[in-house]
Amino acid sequence: MHTKQPPFAELVRQAGAREPLDRRAFLRGFALAGMLAGGMAGCAAPVAEQQPQPQSAIPTPQPRLRAAFAHNGLKTIWNQRGRDTARMLGQLLGIDVVSYDGELSIDKQRRDLEEIAGQTWDFVVIHPLAVNAYIEPVRQIVAHGIPVIDIDTRLADDLSDLGVATLLEPDNVWMAEQVTEALVEAAQSTSFEIIHTQGLLTHTGAQGRALGFRNVLARYPGIKVVDETPGDWDVDKVTRLWADLLQRYPNVRAGFCHNDEMALAALRAINQAGKQGQILIGGVDGIPEACAAVARSDMVATVLNPTGRIHGGALWVGYFLATQGQAANVPRFIRVDGGVIGKDTAAGYIWQGDHLLI
């Protein structure tokens, strides 16, 4: 009797085949990518903590394609987990994924893209640190006939004019609105002081999160924003910033940070100041440490910004563009979102991540 192959084995078989995956296989594979990315995204446990598979159990094809990933900074956990997802999926699909670390520097990322523009690739994925900062090198890449895929944040105000194949983006406004509303609800008041720690202001994700935060506060005129200093995604900077702010604003009640790592840095400063329980903290991304903090009630909420699905989705898009060309028919915009992680949902997200379901 013929035994039907499970989805994982079937994907591996097709990834090693000579012909590109068909559309149905793409859909199955994209679902698998979400499961695989569970170990790399959101509240997932690292894949290394799962039971190791025998080396022969997961055959991988020899690389047939070559892709560049221009990360805006691999210092951050969100980017690290996305990089790892892209590499893992690349191994399954026979793609040599070359990662560039922008080091949270616009100049460094521009130099990376200039280097990428001088080489041959099957596709290029860019997570930009700043909007409209890399127009010329991107135009050069596109002029060589290389598909460019934008992820998480916008390369330019007008991506169609730049020739970008697609943008995979979360709803940054919505994410910030959900967490800010959770903070207001947890405060049980509409009259208090709040700190707004922003990301890098050139980053469209930070811009969207700032807009979402302000959308909510526009409905609560009694809430006073006492500081909006950008933390620039820099944990050390935020640690110093919050140590100072807690002295300057002893009665502050809440803080919204544009990512979880900054939120956790703020939380450490709060604990060092002995203000546990006084100040409510919310963040964005749903990284494991933040999920655990929410489960312990140390943080009010975070929201899943699914790095695995964003990076993994970009790799699938690049694979189809490289193997099918325009026949791949990829839409110019792809929304990729997660859910709100509060105390009542944190355990569920952690469980799903541990079992590779997200």
**Contact call for residues 123 and 148 (beta carbons, < 8 A):** yes
Count the neighbouring beta carbons within 10 Å of the beta carbon of residue 99: 19
Neighbour order of strands in the sheet with 166-169: 95-101, 65-71, 123-126, 148-151, 166-169, 333-335
Structure token pair of residue 188: 């049980």
Helix H or strand E segment including 333 = strand 333-335
What radius of gyration do the chain's Cα atoms show? Answer: 21
pLDDT tens, 262-294? 999 999 999 999 999 899 999 999 998 999 999
Considering the entire predicted model, what is its pTM? Answer: 0.83
169-199 pLDDT, tens digit each: 999 999 999 999 999 999 999 999 999 999 9
State residue 206's pLDDT score.
97
Q: How is residue 274 written in tokens? A: 């002995």
Q: How far apart are alpha carbons 193 and 181 in whole angstroms?
A: 15
